[in-house]
Structure 1
Amino acid sequence: MTDLNILHLEDNPADHELVARTLGRSDLSCALTLVDTLEDFQSHIEQGRVDAVLADYHLAGFSGMEAWEWLRQAQRELPFIIVSGAIGEATVADAMVRGVSDYVDKNRLARLPAVLQRALDFHASRQAQAAAQAELAESRRRLVDLTEHLQVSIDRERADIAREIHDDIGGSLAAAKLDLSWLARRIDEPQAQGHIRAALEMVEHALGASQRIMRNLRPAVLDQGLMPALQWLTQTFAERTGLDVRLKGQVLAPVPPRLSMVVYRTAQEALTNVLKHAQASQVSLDLSDLEGVLTLEVSDNGRGATAQDLAKLQSFGLLGLKERAHGVGGWLDVVTAPGQGMTLILSLPLEGQSAQDWENNE
């Protein structure tokens, strides 16, 4: 086992010898270094590996607690044990409150090895916990990056599919419609006219369907602005479902295209959830940009949901929306209760977004 490097802040050589003997008789393998000034203490901490600190409370011209405060300010986390004469319960309690690991009375040095071992174990446990939390945070960051990458890829693929539908399928259907119209003007036979009209209706229906699919894949209406896009979305949703859908609010600040897409997709998913699960008759959307935060609230008068309902598999739609919001530095909240409807609140910070950021996010 590698020796532990223990720094002993003590101005009495005799007391240092007692501590060294006590640790030497224990199962701990220690290299004990004596320092008697605050400057030497700081130098050893900065220059070498130190596993723990043993410090007298009263030293010539300063206190062991000054060394502890310096450690804290330097953001050095080490086991720090006060090894001193009787200093009073209040002083010990104050030292413990301020974060020192423990206290050992010089008249009871037999306790020191066990106290030191406990402090080392606790420190190792805290380091392992901190490393696990850092790893979890890094994993979370990678997950957010992956989610954002996947979402960007999905949006790009949707745009490509919409473009192909417009250029290939839309163009072919438009050409077929022209040819059918040409035939309708030149064929007088009634039965043939009936087939031509039926074919024209099917082509017209296919054109409408392709346009609807293109808008769902890549809402070109967003090019006209976020509010016009939401107006079109809520109007078509109301016409299709028969629900009372109301949109209010205004946005005065410029909204980056990336944020506009997040708001639009959130509104789209929220309306879909209302139709599938809420059993509502009325939905309201409120958009604002107060205090540099773009906020969308979607509320319904439906049946609401319990915590268990939100935890069910269908709530993965909400998880996806939360990840999308996190990807642009925002957050998503859900307020609901059984029989009291549901309110979804999307908040996206606008401040700190430069024009260059917007260009990069397009």
Structure 2
Amino acid sequence: MSSEQSAQLLAEIQSQQTRLKARLDEEQDRLNQLAKRLWAQQESEKAKLSRELHDGVGQLLTGLTRRLQSLSNEQPELQDLAQLAEMALADVRQLSRLMSPTILDDLGLVPAIKWLTRSLFVQEECQCECEFNFTAELSSDTSILIFRIVQEALVNIIKHAQATQTKVILSSHHQTIRLDIIDNGIGFEHISIEKGIGLNSMQDRAQAFDADLEIHSKVAKGTRITLTVAI
């Protein structure tokens, strides 16, 4: 084969590789767009269920609580039932807010994260500290992405980490938002552990929005989750 033929063959191979990469990039973009639509649909369904909990079950429990409180004035033995009804009502309201936090739309990401940490850690021995250093304007999709990553990570910490200290850091630099969630818990071997629903959900969300999610953990040395999002 002559040098001219070799060059022509090499050029054809490179052209094929370029076309293949373009097709792969196009398919990846389509998959990401599909994933975004699925997440948006999921958020819409959560909002709908949240309203149903608040307006349906919540209203019924409110009526039941008031009725039991009224009756307990005459029948003290009903006081325990009234307290149980109050606890159930509080749990339904909390679940409704967590499923679709209206504070995220009303006040923005920072107040929403502050509310989330207070709500999740109010009865936990683990202390949670927040640090915010950003002034960037965020789209609704980006705010929801960050909020859900924080929510999933903190729930995992409470359930599994056995941590005493947790820190949430949100900062911006130029056109990038960085989120760090750090705990001093028992950690895990990231290579050997089988990813649960929580970690998979975070990875899937990040990938759908072209964000970078890194998880660094060592046994007995805690865990750091870092999310980087271009804005």
TM beyond 0.5: yes
CA contact 1:251–1:289 (8 Å) conserved in 2: yes
Confirm whether residue 137 of structure 1 aligns to residue 137 of structure 2.
no
Per-residue CA distance 1:283-336 (angstroms, 9 max, x = gap): 1111112323222111122344435236x232x533432332344443222334
Structure 1 residues 338 and 125 mapped into 2: Cα distance closer, same or farther (>3 Å)?
farther
Do the aligned residues in 1 keep the contact of 2:190 with 2:216 (CA within 8 Å)? Answer: no
Matched length: 230
Does residue 208 (structure 1) correspond to residue 84 (structure 2)? The answer is: no
**Cα offsets for 1:9-57 (capped at 9, x unmatched):** xxxxxxxxxxxxxxxxxxxxxxxxxxxxxxxxxxxxxxxxxxxxxxxxx
Partner residue, 1:253: 136
SS of residue paired to 2:122: helix
Distance 1:333 1:197, change over 3 A: same
Partner amino acid, structure 1, of 2:57: I
Correspondence list, 1:179-218, <5 A: 179-185=67-73, 188=74, 192-194=75-77, 196-218=78-100
Which structure has the greater CA radius of gyration? 1
Corresponding residue for residue 231 of structure 1 = 114
The equivalent residue for 1:169 is 57
Residue 271 of structure 1, CA deviation: 1.4
- Within a 5 Å distance, the mapping from 1:264-303 to structure 2 comes to 264-303=147-186
The answer as to whether partners of 1:335 and 1:343 remain within 8 angstroms in 2 is yes
Partner of 1:162, secondary structure, is helix
**1:324 aligned onto 2:205:** yes
Q: 1:169 to 1:202 in 2, by over 3 A?
A: same
**What is the aligned partner in structure 2 of residue 308 from structure 1?**
191
Gapped runs of 5+ residues in structure 2?
none
Cα distance in 2 between the residues matched to 1:179 and 1:238: 31
Tell me the distance in 2 between the aligned counterparts of 1:325 and 1:221.
22
After TM superposition, the structure 1 = structure 2 runs for residues 1-362 of structure 1, keeping only pairs within 5 Å, are 102-103=3-4, 116=5, 125-185=13-73, 188=74, 192-194=75-77, 196-222=78-104, 223-309=106-192, 312-314=194-196, 317-350=198-231
1:223-262 Cα distance to aligned partner (Å, 9 max, x none):
2222222112222322233112111123323333322211
TM-superposed CA distance for 1:199, in Å, is 2.5
Distance 1:132 1:317 in 2: 34
Counterparts of 1:125 and 1:253, CA distance in 2: 44
Contact map agreement 1:144 1:323 (CA 8 A) in 2: no
Identity, % of aligned positions: 27
Distance 1:237 1:293, change over 3 A: same
Equivalent position SS for 1:289: strand
CA distance in 1, matches of 2:20, 2:200: 24
Larger RCO: Structure 1 or Structure 2 (Cα < 8 Å, ≥ 6 residues apart)?
A: 2
Structure 1 spans left out of the alignment, 5+ residues: 1-80, 84-101, 104-115, 351-362
Deviates more, 1:270-279 or 1:221-230: 270-279
More displaced 10-residue stretch of structure 1: 231-240 or 261-270: 231-240
Q: What TM-score does the superposition give when structure 1 sets the normalisation length? A: 0.56
- Cα offset, 1:339, TM superposition: 4.4
Contact 2:32–2:209 under 8 Å retained in 1: no
TM-score, scaled to structure 2: 0.84
Aligned-residue Cα RMSD (Å) equals: 2.7
In structure 2, how many angstroms separate the alpha carbons of the residues matched to 1:177 and 1:299?
40
